[in-house]
């Protein structure tokens, strides 16, 4: 099956970019509600509805949830695209619907999505509330788990542009984790199923994004929902949608989320799981913080009359302004930056730095400056 064409055929064209709110997806869910698949299963802190979309009649029960962190919208887009596939009437869709029952929570944290923040309206990280269950959204998810009794849980997230695949110099476009179920990080039957399935997903993705798949850190934290569900016995997979070159709107990464979902259920439906895939799983390089959005090399700085050649880095902050996400670049590091890469790199070749504030960059300053008074950078990029 050609996954790229499958994505093109099912991509939901009415949603785009990083800012995805409940108002963005409600019409889509209602349009898909052809046979009472949609229902409200709870309310957020600010009384926004939390929806589930349930479809399929298969014996294998799949629980998926996205936007637990409100500013992590890429997997929501990919999940909506996948729901389009399930509603497409294709032979593949019929096969999945006969094999699985899908219980989807497309947006667990609608308040955080509206504010474009990781936290909920009470400024609580829902992914650290799986034990105390202090928040209404946390309780909605736990009740869903207990009533549905899933065989597999899909915990869908985004990760920042800072993550790379080990020391390869490649961005971690997609990363996965079979969460630990205990402090010793042992492998039991449910965790092994997740490991084997991730090994299969990785084998598929390597055909499309070679060396751009990472493995997330498996340190155990029972307050995290994935670790909790794994400990409760459900096979749990963590998805982390990351950066693809030039794709700050995460539209290319969205495709690989869709591919990961579709290929995982293809593997499960065909019972094509490689047994004892631990070695393949462990050979997926671990995520590593090795990237900045911008690196400027060999820049001449003037410190009180003393000239020095050095490097500095800038990073985007995603700031919500009038219902749009603005990517504003700020200087975050000055020094040799050894072992780090930039999604954008510029070799100044000892050109002299200048800005409106003085002769050298300052931390947390906007990345707008000149090199040799002739090359102008605005918000991190060269101004044509």
Q: Is 331 within 8 Å of 279 (Cβ atoms)? A: no
Structure tokens of 139?
């309780």
Confidence of residue 316 (pLDDT cuts 50, 70, 90): very high
Q: Is 294 within 8 Å of 315 (Cβ atoms)? A: yes
Confidence of residue 240 (pLDDT cuts 50, 70, 90): very high
Indicate if the pLDDT at residue 132 is higher than 70. Answer: yes
pTM over 0.85: yes
What's the whole-number mean pLDDT along residues 108-136? Answer: 98
Average pLDDT, the chain: 96
CB-based burial, 55-94: b 16+ in 10 Å, e otherwise:
bbebebbbbbbbbbbbbbbbbbbbbbbbbbbbbeeeebbe
Q: Is 36 within 8 Å of 111 (Cβ atoms)? A: no
Task: Please name which of 161, 60, 47, 44 lies closest in space to residue 105, comparing C-alpha atoms.
Answer: 44
**Phi and psi at residue 372, to the nearest 5°:** 55, 30
What's the whole-number mean pLDDT along residues 96-108? Answer: 98
pLDDT by residue (tens digit) across 57-70? 999 999 999 999 99
Domains of the chain by range and CATH?
A: 3-289 (3.40.630.10), 291-382 (2.30.40.10)
CB 373: neighbour CB atoms within 10 A?
9
Q: pLDDT at position 280, please?
A: 93
Q: What does the H/E/C string look like for 305-324? A: CEEEEEEEEEEEEEEEECCE
Q: pLDDT at position 360, please?
A: 85
**Phi and psi at residue 6, to the nearest 5°:** -60, -40
Distance of alpha carbon 143 from alpha carbon 120, whole angstroms: 18
As a whole number of angstroms, the longest Cα–Cα distance in the chain is 74
- At residue 186, the 3 state secondary structure works out as coil
CB-based burial, 177-201: b 16+ in 10 Å, e otherwise:
bbbbbeeeeeeeebbbbbbbbbbbb
What's the whole-number mean pLDDT along residues 116-143? Answer: 98
**pLDDT cut 90: percent of the chain above it:** 94
Q: pLDDT at position 272, please?
A: 66
H helix or E strand, kind and range, residue 60? strand 60-65
Q: Residue written as tokens 């997330």?
A: 216
Structure tokens of 86?
């399930």
Task: Please name which of 134, 48, 53, 161 lies closest in space to residue 101, comparing C-alpha atoms.
Answer: 53
- At residue 92, the 3 state secondary structure works out as helix
Q: pLDDT at position 43, please?
A: 98
Distance of alpha carbon 170 from alpha carbon 253, whole angstroms: 14
Report the sign of the C-alpha dihedral through residues 71, 11, 240, 337, in that order: negative
**pLDDT cut 70: percent of the chain above it:** 99
Q: How far is CA 320 from the centre of its chain?
A: 18
Distance of alpha carbon 105 from alpha carbon 224, whole angstroms: 17
Q: pLDDT at position 277, please?
A: 81
Q: Residue written as tokens 């389009």?
A: 84
pLDDT by residue (tens digit) across 153-209? 999 999 999 999 999 999 999 999 999 999 999 999 999 999 999 999 999 999 999
């Amino acid at each position: 099956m050609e996954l790229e064409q499958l994505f093109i055929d099912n991509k939901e064209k009415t949603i785009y970019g990083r800012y995805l709110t409940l108002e963005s997806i409600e019409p889509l869910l209602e349009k898909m509600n052809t046979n009472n698949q949609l229902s409200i299963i709870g309310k957020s802190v600010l009384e926004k509805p939390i929806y589930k979309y349930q479809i399929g009649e298969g014996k294998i029960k799949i629980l998926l949830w996205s936007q637990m962190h409100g500013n992590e919208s890429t997997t929501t887009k990919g999940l909506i695209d996948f729901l389009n596939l399930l509603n497409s009437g294709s032979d593949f869709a019929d096969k999945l619907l006969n094999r699985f029952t899908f219980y989807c929570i497309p947006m667990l944290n609608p308040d955080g999505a509206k504010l474009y923040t990781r936290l909920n309206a009470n400024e609580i990280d829902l992914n650290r509330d799986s034990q105390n269950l202090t928040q209404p959204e946390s309780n909605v998810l736990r009740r869903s788990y207990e009533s549905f009794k899933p065989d597999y849980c899909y915990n869908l997230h985004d990760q920042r542009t800072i993550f790379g695949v080990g020391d390869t110099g490649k961005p971690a476009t997609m990363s996965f984790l079979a969460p630990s179920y205990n402090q010793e990080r042992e492998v039991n039957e449910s965790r092994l199923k997740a490991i084997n399935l991730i090994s299969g997903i990785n084998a598929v993705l390597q055909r499309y994004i070679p060396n751009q798949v990472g493995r997330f850190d498996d340190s155990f934290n029972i307050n995290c929902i994935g670790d909790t569900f794994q400990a409760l016995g459900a096979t749990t997979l963590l998805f982390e949608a990351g950066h693809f070159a030039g794709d700050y709107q995460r539209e290319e990464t969205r495709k690989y989320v869709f591919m990961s979902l579709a290929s995982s259920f293809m593997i499960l439906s065909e019972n094509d799981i490689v047994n004892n895939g631990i070695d393949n799983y462990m050979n997926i390089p671990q995520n590593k913080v090795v990237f900045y959005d911008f690196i400027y090399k060999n820049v001449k700085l003037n410190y009180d009359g003393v000239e020095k050649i050095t490097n500095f880095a800038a990073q985007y902050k995603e700031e919500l302004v009038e219902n749009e996400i603005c990517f504003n670049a700020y200087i975050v590091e000055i020094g040799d930056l050894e072992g780090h890469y930039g999604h954008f790199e510029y070799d100044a070749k000892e050109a002299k730095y200048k800005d409106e504030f003085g002769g050298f960059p300052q931390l947390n300053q906007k990345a707008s400056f000149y090199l040799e008074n002739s090359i102008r950078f605005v918000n991190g990029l060269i101004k044509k």
